[in-house]
Amino acid sequence: MGIVAKQSVQNIFSIGAGVLLGAVNTLFLYPVFLGSQLQGLVVALLSVSNLVQPFISVGLQHALIRFFPRYKQADQQHILLSWSLVIPLIFVGLLALFYWGVGDALLIRLFGLNPDIQTYGYMIFAIAIATGLFEVFYSWLRIRLQSVLGNFLKEFYPRLLLCICLIVYGFEGIDFPTFLHIVLGGYYLRLLIIASYAFWIHRPKFELKSIPKAGEIIKYSSIILLAGTASSLLLDIDKSMLPALLSVENVAYYSVALFMASVVELPGRAMFQIISPLVAQSIHDNNREELQRFLSQSSQILLWGSGFIFLIIALNAPDFYDWIGQPDYKLAVGVVYWVGAAKLSSMALGCLNQIISNSDWYRYSLYFSVGSAVLAIVLNYYAIQIWGLMGAAYATFSVIVLINLLKINLISRKLQLSPLSLYSLKICLLVGSIGVVFFQVQWSFGSFWNIAFRSLAIALVYGLLSYILQLHKIVLPIIQSLVRRG
């Protein structure tokens, strides 16, 4: 097994373990130990820090990966690595001055006079600094084909940190301010670990000199900065706007529902690490036939697998809320349906995003990101005020589905490719029909057993109908093909 495939498999385990631990945190430990108000505060602080983080790394983590192989001389590589660390540190200094000057006023502007946000607002910028510098050092490792530790620290470590802190807090070992400070310290410990490992793998000679193609690097980093900022905004803008327009408790309700809906994307997160190098190679070879095959097959298997997960999550959501004994959180059950459906539409795209980002039409990634962010802000602002918590779900669904349709149109016009086929229609009808039928069936065995029996019934019906519709013929060969290529 090659190094790429081997590390991809190892990374998948980190992602899977992170998702499971994140489920424990979000669905059990947060509601039980923190309660909705404090959970909403923690989620809001972390979400807003994600919006600030791109202004620390300023796109250099991606530029480093793209341009490092172009510099064959060691001294040029040293200069590139040196600037990739110094420039973020300069932006850290600028951010510190910015926060010292207008930080409090900005927080009031964004979140109103929320006393909790005002008290702990400094953590937004402190965590953003730690995560931004982390991304830079992670890129140092990736260019040396050392991705496993960085992926573990990115996907699993933060969830483990929160899990430990939540348990200690729940047993009254620490108070809430100490809880937040330990979490903050944990992020800087993660930064120290990856920085130490990066210097151990390769310690560059620091040289701050001019470098060839500096203008191209700046242009690319600027585009990535804008696209990354917009993407972060799309991911977290709803959770960031809820405390300003409603109350901080709604962030907790929404974040739990959003986590449940996001599980629908798990097959995609696993597959894209395997298929992305294949897509890049096909684009390099200008092999349209193979690109279409990758696009169709990835779309079909992800739609089929994520469709099954969507049914399990959506149909069991009401009983799950009853089972965890948090009736207030059940107010967001509709969020699971709408956001889950939006995530499912993204899985129907297959590897389309990888094709766009590796093709000559890469700049459209920026257009889509910025357009999504602007539309998300506008729709969330009005929808949340009209429909409350569900308004954020409606806005998210509308933005994701619209942008997905535009991406399909782009690929169809520019590259004459499409992720959709007759099999896609069959899978959509399969998921839709099972969803409608099972939604009408009432179960009365108790919350836990309702979930167990309903999930078993869905699995049996889904498998049987897939066989009848001949869908198993596309699933098994694709899995076998990907395994052989790995």
pLDDT in tens, 18-76: 877 887 887 788 877 877 778 777 877 887 787 777 777 777 776 776 666 666 766 66
H or E, element range at 257: helix 248-262
- Is residue 7 pLDDT above 60, yes or no? no
Percent of all residues in the chain with a pLDDT value above 70, rounded to a whole number: 78
DSSP code of residue 31: I
Distances (CA, A) of 25 to 34, 52, 175, 239, 283: 11, 24, 18, 17, 40
The CA distance from 107 to 123, in Å, is: 12
Give residue 486's pLDDT band: very low, low, confident or very high (50, 70, 90): very low
Percent of all residues in the chain with a pLDDT value above 90, rounded to a whole number: 15
| Counts for the chain of helices (H) and strands (E), in that order | 21, 0
**Residue 309 neighbours by CB distance under 10 Å:** 18
- Is residue 402 pLDDT above 90, yes or no? yes
Looking at residue 458, its pLDDT comes to 92
Tokens standing for 256? 């739990």
The CA distance from 379 to 385, in Å, is: 10
Q: Is the CB of residue 435 less than 8 Å from the CB of residue 315?
A: yes
The CA distance from 231 to 373, in Å, is: 7
Give residue 106's pLDDT band: very low, low, confident or very high (50, 70, 90): low
pLDDT in tens, 455-485: 999 999 998 898 888 776 666 665 555 445 4
Amino acid 55 reads F
Amino acid 96 reads A
The Cα angle at residue 302 between residues 415 and 352, in degrees rounded to 5: 20
More confident residue, 191 or 224: 191
**Residue boundaries of the structural domains of the chain:** 1-212, 243-486
Indicate the pTM of the whole model: 0.71
The CA distance from 390 to 392, in Å, is: 5
Q: Is the CB of residue 402 less than 8 Å from the CB of residue 376?
A: no
pLDDT in tens, 405-418: 999 999 888 888 88
